[in-house]
Structure 1
Amino acid sequence: MLKVFTYCNAKGHLGAYEIANFSESAEHYQGFLTDGGGIRTFRKDRVIEYFDNLKAAQAGIPESYSPPEIIKPKKQSLPTICFTGFKKDLKAQLCNQAEAADIGVRTGVSGSLSYLCCGPNAGPVKLENARAAGALVLSELQFLSMLETGEVPEHDEQFHYTLESTQTK
C-alpha cells in the first residue's frame, strides 16, 4: 500500500514523497519512505496534491510556489501517549512532562492511543501494534519538540526505525 503526494513542510519547503505501509489518523499520515529514509509523519492539511507515482509527483512541483496558510487542527479530546524502550528514570521524567502538558500517559497500546514514544530499546512489535491502532510513532526528540512547539515534527535524523527493521524474519 503506497501513498504518493506533494507536501509543504513547516518551513515552507515543497517536496514529493512516496510512503509505504502507512497508517493514518484524522490529521496525519505516517509511513516508511520508499527511498529508505525511514519512518516519517506528514500532516494531511499540508498535502498539496496526490499522485499515482513518485515521478509524476516530482514533475508536479510548480516552479513558483507560495505555501498555503497552515491552520492548526482542532483538538477533539485529550491525547494519550505510551513510552517504551526507555530506562526507568528517563521514562518517569518523560511521563511527568507529558502529564504536565495534559497528555494522558498509558502503559500499553490500545485503540485510543494517540502517540507511542520510542526509546533505544523499543521493540518492533509494539511499534507496529501502535501504528495499526492509528497512533503516531515518535522519538524522544520529536516528543520534546511537540511539547515545545505544539506540532509533531515530520522526521528525526536519530530515529532509526525503517520498514525493514519492523518486518518479521
Structure 2
Amino acid sequence: MSEQICVYRNNEGFVSVQSLRNTSHNEPYIQGWCKKFKAPRTLRIERIINTFDILQDANDYLNNFDPDEIVSPSQRKALSASTFDVHFTGFKKADKTQLTEIAKANGMTVRGEVTKNLNLLCYGYNAGQKKLEKALDQGCIILNEPQFIALIETGEIPEE
C-alpha cells in the first residue's frame, strides 16, 4: 500500500504533517485516504512544502520548521495549461445547471459523463454508486457540493 507523507501548508497558512494512503494524482491535486481523520483528503500539490518516506522524519521536520524557508505562492510555477475536466452527478437539473455555470466561469471543462481524462467528479444526493466507483477506479478526485464550492472559493478542498 503506497503512502504519501508530507509537510503541507493549507490555504489559511496552517502547516501540518499529512499522511495519505492509496493516493491518486490529478494536477494540481493529490487525493488519498487519511487514517487520522478516517476520510479522504485532497491537497494542492503546490502547497506541499516537503515530502518524506518516514512519518517520524516529517514530524521532526515540522518541529524544526522555519516558515521563512517557504517559497511564496507568487514565486511558484504556474499551473499547467491543460484542461481541468469536471462531471456533476446526482443533482436536480437546476442545481446541476448552476454548478456547471460556476465550473465554466472558473475555467473548468464540464463533461457529460465519466471520461478517461476526468479530473474531478462532484456528486449530489442521488449519485449512482457505479458512476462513483468508475471515477474512483480512474483516480478522479471525488467531492460533494460543499467541497466543490470551497475548492472554487479557496483553491483548496476543506479538511472537515
Alignment partner of 1:38 is 2:36 = no
Q: Helix, strand or coil: the match of 1:20? A: strand
Identical counterparts, % of pairs = 33
* Whole-angstrom distance in 2 between the partners of 1:32 and 1:125: 20
* Whole-angstrom distance in 2 between the partners of 1:36 and 1:18: 10
> For 1:23-59, what per-residue CA distance to the aligned partner results, in whole angstroms no more than 9, with x for missing partners?
0124321111011341111122222222223233222
Q: How many residues align?
A: 155
Runs of 5+ consecutive residues of structure 2 not aligned to the other structure = none
TM-score, length of structure 1 as denominator length: 0.76
Alignment partner of 1:120 is 2:125 = yes
Cα distance change of structure 1 residues 82 and 102 upon mapping to structure 2, 3 Å threshold: same
TM-score, length of structure 2 as denominator length: 0.80
Whether the aligned pair in 1 keeps the contact of 2:150 and 2:157 (CA below 8 Å) is no
> For 1:85-131, what per-residue CA distance to the aligned partner results, in whole angstroms no more than 9, with x for missing partners?
22332122212322344422212111221221122333454334324
Runs of 5+ consecutive residues of structure 1 not aligned to the other structure = 158-169
Kindly state the Cα deviation for residue 16 of structure 1 after the two structures are TM-superposed. Answer: 0.7
CA RMSD of aligned residues (A): 2.4
* Whole-angstrom distance in 1 between the partners of 2:51 and 2:9: 13
Higher helix share: 2
Cα distance change of structure 1 residues 36 and 147 upon mapping to structure 2, 3 Å threshold: closer
Counterpart for residue 110 of structure 2? 105
Residue 84 (structure 1) aligned to one of 67, 85, 89: 89
Whether the aligned pair in 1 keeps the contact of 2:87 and 2:118 (CA below 8 Å) is yes
Residue 138 (structure 1) aligned to one of 112, 134, 143: 143
